[in-house]
């Protein structure tokens, strides 16, 4: 699939291109964000000629990754730039159609990796809309003025309330199975059953009916909440939005902050940000992300707001998010992401304490919720994750979540310095402080995973006493021996074994099947209970990943390739 001249596709010095997840309202081609007091409107008005790649047009408000990048950006700006907004209406800017879903020509022509990563990002964006309601008090209404099919209805399902115009033709549908031989890719099946609690037999009819369901039946089957005559539709939507706004606990007094563009320098072998750097060793298929710790935290909430997007925890969260997305979509051959850090762990804890002390402030709360979402993005990234805790590291509090999110963590044990070498407490000849890891209150509830557990709670699922022991070690600078005893790391290694053990792990990871590793890691990262979110990313995504490779969907005679040609697909009828 060739690239188009789209704002989300950026040229590189080597002649290649990369998908860029940074945008801003003045660059939107598909969405319009309007603010009217405490109610915002997200108007979907997709530019047909604004596709991310060549070879298709975004007709009928269908979307590709570029459309969703703008939506994700708009939601973040509602959080940080418009704290006065207490309800949001999502609606179409086109007559008689809400959204036709993911663009079928795009899906038919995209690589398998792009399809999977596209679905993952759209899932994360829909989850972000639900998080906006649950944790930021900003409830959403989806106002459907025509057809909402496939991903269009899945977008509606993320809202708190779905309102459908009653005009005899407007409908909701999940037609992927009968039309395309695939499944809804953005949580549609799970939200219909788990969130909307649609009866199984009704859901079966709904998901196998191309034309969908409309009017009174859509309400009776719990597929929408309201059907309203066209003459009363706009007034009813606004009345509901005002009702939601009046009930919202959001107390974002004062002006928001500007989410200024990230400062990034791209080179052939890495990316440099303000608070972290990414280094690519493409021969070894490794990406190393080194996070840089902060200086002293601000004195008060006013100073935090004044710093805005340059406030260290906010800046680092945004930059880490961008780095992870860049690796996901643009560095497909990377086998492992290595997390490192440098700085003072006490300063990291000081920022956590600052956010705790100002937990009633809207900006402090939004920063915490952003970190929660970014860490979930790390959890859900299909790469082997490893953290190296070395002398001078600052994996403390919030940053300690990265070793807990990793598939393995290695920590350098202190060694006695040789008088002749002038060595320090880590490697021979190294005068950096001893490698430590430190826990804070945030590690025990602030950052739940998709399964609803904390990362330490997931780690110690079979040993509640070990979790209590870890709680008892909060605010302590734990060396490798103490960290290993508490179960906080995988291995504590001395200087003699360090290089060989880390090298062998990374070489081994690069030698294994990427498909098998993705399946293994996704299974092992999420122990314990299932939630609607974990089902969407695990059960549904696993099936969709498989179905997207089946000839019934993407073969030359498959449904995706023959859709719109007038030819019926030819299926291999064997159930496997």
**Torsion angle, CA of 173/174/180/186, rounded to 10 degrees?**
140
432 token code pair: 């950096």
Tell which of 247, 280, 314 closes a domain.
247
Q: 55-91 b/e with 16+ CB inside 10 Å = b? A: ebebebbbbbbbbbbbbbbbbbbbbbbbbbbbbbbbb
Both 361 and 508 in one domain: the answer is: yes
Residue stretches of the chain with pLDDT short of 70: 1-7, 10-16, 416-430
Residues 386 and 504 in one domain: yes
pLDDT for 545 equals 81
Torsion, CA 60, CA 65, CA 71, CA 77, rounded to 10: -160
**Residue 448 sits in which domain range?**
265-525
Residue 443 belongs to some domain of the structure: yes
Q: Provide the token pair at 265.
A: 């320098």
For residues 264 and 370, give the distance between their C-alpha atoms in angstroms, rounded to a whole number: 20
In a domain, 150, yes or no: yes
- Residue 15 confidence (pLDDT): 54
On whether both 169 and 308 belong to a single domain, the answer is: no
Q: What angle do CA 433, 278, 347 make, to 5 degrees?
A: 35
Q: Are residues 338 and 485 in the same domain?
A: yes
Joined tokens for residue 224: 């929408």
CATH code of residue 127: 3.90.226.10
Q: Is 87 helix (H, G, I), strand (E, B) or coil?
A: strand
Residue 431 lies in a domain: yes
Q: In terms of Cα–Cα distance, which of 192, 101, 199 is closest to 146?
A: 101
Q: Mark whether 238 and 354 lie in a shared domain.
A: no
290 and 400 fall within a common domain: yes
The pTM for the full model equals 0.94
Integer Cα distance of 248 and 242 in angstroms: 10
pLDDT value at residue 422: 41
Shared domain for 440 and 338, answered yes or no, is yes
Is residue 470 domain-resident? yes
Residue 536: DSSP 8-state: I
What is the C-alpha to C-alpha distance for residues 262 and 340, in angstroms, rounded to an integer?
21
Q: Which of 510, 525, 540 is the last residue of a domain?
A: 525
- SS3 annotation, 105-174: HHHHHCCHHHHHHHHHHHHHHHHHHHHHHHHHCCEEEEEECCEEECHHHHHHHCCCEEEEEECCCCEEEC
Does residue 553 form part of some domain? no
Looking at the fold, whether 229 and 295 belong to one and the same domain comes out as no
The answer to whether residue 317 is domain-embedded is: yes
Phi (first) and psi of residue 213, to 5 degrees = -130, 145
533 in a domain, yes or no? no
99 shares its domain with 177:
yes
pLDDT tens per residue, range 184-210: 988 999 999 999 999 999 999 999 999
Q: Are residues 235 and 207 in the same domain?
A: yes
Could you tell me if 367 and 471 lie in one domain? yes
Domain shared by 120 and 153, yes or no: yes
pLDDT for position 414: 86
Where a domain ends, among 247, 276, 296? Answer: 247
Q: How many domains does one find in the chain? A: 2
Residue 155 lies in a domain: yes
């Amino acid at each position: 699939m060739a690239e188009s001249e789209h704002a989300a596709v950026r040229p590189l010095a080597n002649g290649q291109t990369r998908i860029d997840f940074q945008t801003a309202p003045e660059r939107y081609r598909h969405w319009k964000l309007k603010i009217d007091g405490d109610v915002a409107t997200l108007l979907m008005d997709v530019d047909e000629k604004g596709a991310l790649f060549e070879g298709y047009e975004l007709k009928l408000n269908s979307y590709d990754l570029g459309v969703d990048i703008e939506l994700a950006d708009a939601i973040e700006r509602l959080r940080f730039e418009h704290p006065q907004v207490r309800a949001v209406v999502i609606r179409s800017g086109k007559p008689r159609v809400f959204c036709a879903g993911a663009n079928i020509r795009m899906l038919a022509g995209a690589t398998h990796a792009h399809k999977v990563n596209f679905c993952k990002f759209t899932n994360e964006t829909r989850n972000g809309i639900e998080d906006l309601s649950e944790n930021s008090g900003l409830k959403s209404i989806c106002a459907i003025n025509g057809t909402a099919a496939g991903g269009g209805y899945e977008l509606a399902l993320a809202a708190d309330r779905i309102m459908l115009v009653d005009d005899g033709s407007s409908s909701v549908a999940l037609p992927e199975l009968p039309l395309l031989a695939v499944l809804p890719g953005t949580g549609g099946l799970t939200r219909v059953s788990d969130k909307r609690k649609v009866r199984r037999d009704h859901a079966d009819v709904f998901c196998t009916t191309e034309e969908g369901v409309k009017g009174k039946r859509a309400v009776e089957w719990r597929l929408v909440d309201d059907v309203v005559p066209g003459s009363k539709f706009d007034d009813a939507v606004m009345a509901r939005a005002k009702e939601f706004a009046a009930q919202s606990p959001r107390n974002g007094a004062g002006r928001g902050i500007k989410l200024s563009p990230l400062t990034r320098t791209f080179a052939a072998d890495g990316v440099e940000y303000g608070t972290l750097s990414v280094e690519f060793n493409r021969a070894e298929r490794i990406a190393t992300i080194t996070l840089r710790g902060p200086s002293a935290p601000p004195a008060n909430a006013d100073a935090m707001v004044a710093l805005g997007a340059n406030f260290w925890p906010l800046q680092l969260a945004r930059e880490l998010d961008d780095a992870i997305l860049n690796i996901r979509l643009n560095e497909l051959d990377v086998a492992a992401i290595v997390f490192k850090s440098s700085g003072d762990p006490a300063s990291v804890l000081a920022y956590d304490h600052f956010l705790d002390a100002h937990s009633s402030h809207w900006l402090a709360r939004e920063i915490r919720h952003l970190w929660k979402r970014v860490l979930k993005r790390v959890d859900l990234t299909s790469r082997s994750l490893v953290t190296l805790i070395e002398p001078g590291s600052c994996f403390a509090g919030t940053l300690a979540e990265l070793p807990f999110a990793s598939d393995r963590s290695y920590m350098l044990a202190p060694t006695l310095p040789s008088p002749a070498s002038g060595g320090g407490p880590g490697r021979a000849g190294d005068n950096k402080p001893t490698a430590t890891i430190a826990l804070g209150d945030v590690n025990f509830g602030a950052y739940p995973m998709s399964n609803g557990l904390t990362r330490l709670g997931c780690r110690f699922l079979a040993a509640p006493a070990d979790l209590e022991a870890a709680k008892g070690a909060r605010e302590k600078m734990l060396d490798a021996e103490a960290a290993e005893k508490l179960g906080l790391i995988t291995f504590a290694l001395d200087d003699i074994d360090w290089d060989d053990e880390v090298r062998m792990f990374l070489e081994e990871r690069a030698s294994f099947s990427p498909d098998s590793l993705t399946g293994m890691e996704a299974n092992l990262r999420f122990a314990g209970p299932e939630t609607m979110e974990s089902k969407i990313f695990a059960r549904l995504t696993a099936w969709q990943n498989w179905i997207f490779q089946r000839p019934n969907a993407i073969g030359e005679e498959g449904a995706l390739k023959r859709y719109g040609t007038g030819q019926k697909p030819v299926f291999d009828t064997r159930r496997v």
